């Protein structure tokens, strides 16, 4: 079967001396594809196997790995390769996408638009740290690992002034439920009342309607800790690119 699809490269690795194997995210899910000869200097496929590149791919596929017959690149995202920090964020978003997305044809167009949105936002000069928190919120929802952040995860009461995050419960706790949990349990922390509001907003608001947010250092730090703990301890997502990013930005 031969077909055309728009796609974003979310993983790319060399295969032998001259080939590349890429993972494409399409509006209907991921597909692995071999780009023969793409690593040769003069290859017409060289541009279309770079991470974050977006284009229209012509694929031939019987089963398993597809073959890239040709590709027309529509968006190179050059700045995400030129800047070391942006490249590390982009690699992190791409790896997160590979873990969250379903294979074709079971994927979701919302996820495709989300990945395109996060890369565009990064390229457009938005604060990468905040952009990461937005994408992580959405990734948790796509994975089915996001609670209703506006409510206590134990009793469903709307959250008010006093709020705690509990990794064991995979969500936020109200003051009443907090007393049933050991305050020194791992992954247990008091958070500012703006954290539930921000998490809810970032999870449900579409990319195109998420504006620029101004956060205090404390809130930004708490958001990062809550999302990271929820991703790693609750959803089991340990990403290599995250460790690279941490080393680079000094976390």
**Measured from the CB of residue 151, what is the shortest distance to Zn ion in angstroms?**
8
What is the arrangement of strands in the sheet containing 163-166, beginning at the earlier edge strand?
171-173, 163-166, 188-191
CB of 182 to Zn ion, least distance (A): 16
Please report where in the chains the tokens 């609670």 appear, as a residue: 147
* Smallest distance, Zn ion to C-beta of residue 176, A: 5
Q: At closest approach, how far in Å is the CB of 82 from Zn ion?
A: 48
* Near Zn ion in 143-162, by CB under 5 A: 152, 154-155, 157
- The answer to whether the beta carbons of residues 142 and 35 sit under 8 Å apart is no
Q: State in angstroms the smallest separation of the CB of 91 from Zn ion.
A: 38
Looking at residues 90 to 149 of the shown chain, list those that interact with Zn ion (rule: CB under 5 A): none
Residue 30 · residue 102 · CB < 8 Å? yes
Q: Is 163 in the site for Zn ion (CB under 5 A)?
A: no
Given the complex with Zn ion, which of 62 and 180 has the nearer CB atom?
A: 180
E strands in 104-235: 163-166, 171-173, 188-191
Q: Contacts from 211-219 at CB under 8 Å and sequence distance 24+?
A: 212/126, 212/127, 213/130, 215/130, 218/192, 219/192, 219/194, 219/195
Interface characters, 220-249, with Zn ion (x: CB under 5 A): ------------------------------
Rounded alpha-carbon distances, angstroms, from residue 94 to 119, 175, 233 = 9, 37, 20
| Residue 163 exposed, middle or buried by CB count within 10 Å (0-12, 13-18, 19+) | buried
Largest CA distance in the chain: 66
Based on CB atoms, which residue is closest to Zn ion, 2 or 156?
A: 156
What is the distance, to the nearest Å, from the Cα of residue 162 to the centroid of all Cα atoms in its chain?
Answer: 29
Question: Is the CB of 160 or the CB of 221 nearer to Zn ion?
Answer: 160
Of 46, 58, 68, whose CA–CA distance to 6 is shortest? 58
Q: Which is nearer to Zn ion, 65 or 157 (CB)?
A: 157
Closest to Zn ion by CB, 4 vs 156, is: 156
Minimum CB–partner distance for residue 191 and Zn ion (Å): 14
Q: Give min distance, CB of 221 to Zn ion, in A.
A: 24
Q: With contacts defined by CB under 5 A, how many residues of the chain interact with Zn ion?
A: 6
Closest CB to Zn ion among residues 174, 199:
174
Q: Which residues pair with 145 in a beta bridge?
A: none
Q: Which stretch binds Zn ion (CB under 5 A): 74-82, 166-174, 186-194, 210-218?
A: 166-174
Of 170-199, which residues contact Zn ion (CB under 5 A)? 174, 177
Give the residue with the Cβ less far from Zn ion, 101 or 163. Answer: 163
Chain positions contacting Zn ion, by CB under 5 A: 152, 154-155, 157, 174, 177
């Amino acid at each position: 079967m031969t077909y055309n699809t728009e796609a974003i490269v979310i993983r790319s690795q060399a295969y032998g001396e001259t080939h590349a194997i890429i993972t494409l995210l399409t509006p209907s899910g991921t597909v692995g594809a071999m780009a023969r000869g793409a690593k040769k200097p003069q290859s017409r496929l060289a541009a279309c196997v770079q991470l974050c590149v977006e284009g229209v791919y012509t694929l031939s596929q019987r089963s398993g790995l597809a073959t890239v017959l040709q590709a027309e690149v529509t968006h190179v995202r050059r700045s995400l390769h030129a800047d070391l920090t942006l490249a590390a964020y982009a690699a992190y978003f791409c790896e997160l996408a590979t873990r969250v997305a379903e294979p074709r044809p079971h994927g979701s167009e919302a996820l495709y638009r989300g990945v395109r949105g996060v890369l565009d936002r990064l390229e457009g000069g938005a604060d990468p740290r905040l952009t990461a928190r937005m994408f992580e919120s959405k990734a948790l929802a796509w994975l089915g690992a996001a609670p209703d952040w506006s409510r206590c995860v134990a009793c469903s009461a709307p959250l008010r002034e006093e709020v705690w995050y509990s990794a064991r419960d995979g969500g936020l706790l109200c003051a009443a439920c907090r007393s049933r949990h050991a305050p020194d349990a791992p992954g247990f922390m008091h958070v500012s009342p703006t954290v539930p509001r921000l998490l809810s907003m970032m999870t449900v608001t579409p990319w195109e309607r998420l504006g620029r947010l101004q956060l205090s250092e404390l809130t930004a730090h708490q958001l990062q800790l809550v999302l990271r703990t929820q991703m790693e301890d609750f959803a089991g997502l340990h990403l290599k690119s995250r460790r690279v990013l941490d080393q680079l930005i000094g976390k």
